[in-house]
């Protein structure tokens, strides 16, 4: 094994290059380690004995500590400054003192870590023999048999993360922005337009590196091309935005899969952002990852209070904003917009559902972890029914609650709706036995069916079928029954919420299909 080259400055500020072309004893120390202070005079004795034919170097981990060691022990051997700790990281030891005896061609033996007198005596004999030189003047009998070393400074958790992020070979490639010491970093993030209007977490290299530990994917893998800027987004860039959103590393695979979903042509994130209706992605997570990362699927599942729910959805929005360039007033043309533009992500409570979970309905295995993206314009809109006791009654209420999608006068629209059924309403639905989703969809369509004449513009509302079009229709045509949705398949049903409270909810969708957005699911790969 060949020792890693380095260049460090000694206490006179002169550069010292390793390897030197001579045999070398390199010992890493830090001043506040008692065992390093025990080893320092031994190293000085080695230097006095062999300094003419070998390089005996002490590498200190703090500049101030080096000066203290020099004065405390009267050291004359070269003391090098590794205050940046990059050389310590590259040499990859755990304990100081860490002493390496290295041949003239850089061949490295196993280091001595800590202080075991017998090992250090053996090393001294080995060096003297290889150099054909006299023994060093060390009073070995005055030294203890053994002393434990100290943890190397480069392994301090905060320091180690920074070093890894800055090291050669680090997966981080994004442009780094230097901020003046007097600048407020939070205000800087606002001023640069990186925020959605709420404070964001500064994406320092060590935080981004920690976030990247949440996935096995290469940091430079291109996950998608993000409209409207059509900018390629790498795993690293997603990780940066996940940091800013407040995610934990274990959430990153969900964010990556969600970005894959919303950046497909089918989902049409450009159209979702550009429409003046104010559409935004709503994410539903299924499978084992829900519990593994602590997502909320029960009480307050659609609201605040859960870090995973809140930050996963926010991370997706930040990627679309910061990488794709979809910002309010630019390509985001929402008339009113919606709180969903901040975040909307929750998990389905599969265990509380009598039906196949959403992802299984959509062709995945039950044990798969999946995120499904919906383009929704409003919601969650509560559907309140505390009185119905029969299955068809509560199903009717859910249908009437969905009639307001877009506007109650607008029927047969190709538009998705996401119906979130609360557990108490589920109990009522299944009180007489199984109540399949197909039956629920049929019931919703039945109770929302109206004759076309009710869709005609009138003095109450000018929306719907124009008077000119209606004038060309026969009475039979005007009497044609028209359900709310063009097809029951546009009604997507999941279970979530507290076990107490008869309050379901609905998300109203945008246009479905080629002119709008299709529902897209992606398997979550860790």
In a shared domain, residues 216 and 140: no
pLDDT of residue 159: 85
Which of 155, 171, 203 is where one domain is finished?
155
Q: Please give the average per-residue pLDDT across 508-525, as a whole number.
A: 94
In a shared domain, residues 146 and 190: no
pLDDT of residue 107: 80
In a shared domain, residues 212 and 108: no
pLDDT of residue 402: 97
Domain-located, residue 164: no
How far apart CA 271 and CA 332 sit, in angstroms, is 9
Give yes or no for residue 129 having a pLDDT over 90. yes
Domain-located, residue 455: no
The token pair at 93 is: 């030891």
Q: Which domain holds residue 329?
A: 185-448+483-523
Helix, strand and coil content of the chain, in percent to the nearest 5, comes to: 35, 20, 45
Give yes or no for residue 176 having a pLDDT over 80. no
> Is 244 in contact with 312 (CB distance < 8 Å)?
no
Bridge partners (DSSP) listed for residue 419:
493, 506
pLDDT of residue 7: 95
- Domains: count for the chain: 2
In a shared domain, residues 513 and 367: yes
Which of 105, 136, 155 is where one domain is finished?
155
Domain-located, residue 51: yes
In a shared domain, residues 243 and 305: yes
Domain-located, residue 330: yes
In a shared domain, residues 132 and 227: no
In a shared domain, residues 137 and 214: no
Question: What's the CATH code of the domain at 144?
Answer: 3.40.30.10
pLDDT of residue 75: 96
In a shared domain, residues 125 and 35: yes
In a shared domain, residues 439 and 494: yes
Give yes or no for residue 180 having a pLDDT over 90. no
In a shared domain, residues 93 and 195: no
Residue 451 DSSP code = E
Give yes or no for residue 408 having a pLDDT over 80. yes
Could you tell me the pLDDT band of residue 168, with boundaries at 50, 70 and 90? low
In a shared domain, residues 151 and 225: no
The token pair at 327 is: 């910002």
Q: Please give the average per-residue pLDDT across 90-117, as a whole number.
A: 90
In a shared domain, residues 261 and 357: yes
Q: What is the pLDDT of residues 196-250, one digit of tens each?
A: 999 999 999 889 999 999 999 999 999 999 999 999 999 999 999 999 999 999 9
DSSP per-residue codes, 363-426:
T--TTS-EEEEEEEEEEEEEEE-SS--SHHHHHHHHHHHHTTSS-TT--SB-EEEEEEE-HHHH
pLDDT of residue 504: 98
- The average confidence (pLDDT) of the chain is 94
243: how many CB neighbours lie within 10 A of its CB?
A: 27
Q: What is the pLDDT of residues 424-466, one digit of tens each?
A: 999 999 999 999 999 999 999 999 999 999 999 999 999 999 9
Domain-located, residue 460: no
Domain-located, residue 504: yes
Domain-located, residue 439: yes
Q: Please give the average per-residue pLDDT across 413-431, as a whole number.
A: 97
Domain-located, residue 468: no
> Is 374 in contact with 507 (CB distance < 8 Å)?
yes
Q: Please give the average per-residue pLDDT across 49-65, as a whole number.
A: 95
């Amino acid at each position: 094994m060949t020792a890693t080259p380095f260049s460090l400055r000694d206490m006179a500020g002169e550069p010292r290059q390793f390897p030197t072309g001579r045999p070398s004893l390199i010992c890493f120390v830090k001043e506040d380690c008692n065992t390093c202070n025990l080893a320092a005079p031994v190293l000085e004795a080695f230097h006095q004995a062999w300094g003419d034919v070998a390089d005996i170097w002490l590498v200190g981990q703090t500049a101030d500590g080096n000066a203290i060691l020099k004065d405390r022990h009267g050291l004359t051997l070269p003391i090098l400054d590794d205050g940046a700790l990059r050389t310590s990281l590259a040499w990859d030891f755990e304990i100081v003192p860490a002493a390496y005896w290295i041949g003239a061609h850089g061949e490295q033996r196993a280091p001595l870590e800590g202080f075991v007198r017998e090992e250090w005596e053996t090393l001294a004999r080995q060096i003297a023999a290889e150099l054909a030189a006299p023994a060093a003047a060390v009073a070995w009998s005055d030294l203890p048999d053994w002393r434990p070393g100290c943890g190397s400074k480069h392994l301090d958790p905060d320091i180690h993360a920074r070093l890894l992020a800055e090291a050669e070979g680090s997966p981080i490639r994004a442009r780094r922005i230097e901020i003046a010491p007097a600048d407020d970093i939070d205000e800087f993030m606002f001023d640069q337009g990186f925020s959605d209007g709420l404070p964001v977490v500064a994406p320092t290299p060590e935080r981004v590196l920690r976030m990247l530990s949440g996935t096995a994917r290469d940091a430079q893998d291109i996950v998608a091309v993000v409209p409207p800027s059509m900018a390629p987004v790498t795993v690293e860039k997603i990780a940066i935005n996940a940091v800013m959103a407040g995610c934990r590393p274990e959430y990153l695979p969900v964010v990556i899969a969600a970005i894959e979903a919303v950046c497909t042509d089918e989902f049409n994130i450009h159209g979702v952002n550009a429409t003046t209706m104010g559409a935004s992605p709503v994410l539903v997570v299924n499978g084992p990852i829900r519990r593994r990362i602590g997502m909320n699927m029960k009480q307050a599942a659609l609201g605040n209070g859960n870090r995973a729910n809140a930050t996963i959805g926010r991370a997706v929005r930040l990627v679309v904003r910061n990488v794709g360039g979809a910002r309010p007033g630019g390509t985001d043309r929402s008339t009113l917009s919606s709180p969903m533009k901040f975040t909307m992500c929750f998990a389905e409570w599969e265990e509380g559902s009598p039906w196949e979970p959403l992802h299984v309905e959509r062709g995945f295995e039950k044990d798969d972890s999946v995120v499904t993206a919906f383009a929704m314009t409003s919601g969650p809109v509560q559907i309140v029914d505390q009185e119905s006791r029969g299955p068809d009654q509560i199903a009717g209420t859910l249908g009437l609650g969905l009639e307001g999608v877009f506007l109650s006068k607008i029927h047969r629209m190709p538009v998705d709706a996401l119906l979130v059924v609360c557990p108490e309403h589920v109990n009522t639905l299944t009180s007489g036995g199984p109540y399949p989703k197909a039956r629920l969809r049929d019931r919703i369509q039945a109770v929302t069916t109206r004759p076309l004449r009710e869709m005609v513009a009138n003095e109450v509302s000018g929306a719907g079928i124009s008077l000119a079009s209606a004038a060309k229709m026969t009475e039979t045509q005007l009497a044609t029954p028209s359900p709310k949705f063009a097809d029951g398949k546009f009604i997507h049903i999941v279970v979530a919420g507290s076990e107490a409270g008869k309050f379901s909810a609905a998300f109203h969708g945008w246009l479905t299909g080629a002119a709008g957005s299709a529902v897209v699911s992606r398997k979550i790969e860790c």
